[in-house]
Amino acid sequence: MKKLSSDVTLSANNIQLIPLEEKHKNALLTAAKDGNLWETWYTSVPNSSNIDAYISKALGDKEKNKSVPFVVIDSHIDKIIGTTRLYDIHLKHRRLSIGYTWYAKSYQKTHVNTVCKILLLEYAFEVLNCIAVQFSTNFHNLPSRTAIAKLGAKQDGIIRNHQILEGDIYRDTVVFSIIESEWAAVKKALQFRLKNYLQK
pLDDT score recorded for residue 166: 83
The answer to whether residue 88 sits within a structural domain is yes
Is 3 a residue whose pLDDT tops 70?
Answer: no
Q: Domain range holding 51?
A: 10-199
The answer to whether residue 92 sits within a structural domain is yes
Q: Which helix (H) or strand (E) holds 189?
A: helix 183-199
Q: Per-residue pLDDT tens for 148-185?
A: 999 999 999 999 999 998 889 999 999 999 999 999 99
The answer to whether residue 178 sits within a structural domain is yes
Domain count, the chain: 1
Q: pTM value?
A: 0.93
The answer to whether residue 195 sits within a structural domain is yes
Compute the half-sphere exposure of residue 160: CA atoms within 13 Å on the CB side of its CA. Answer: 0
CA pair distance 29, 41, nearest whole angstrom: 17
The answer to whether residue 51 sits within a structural domain is yes
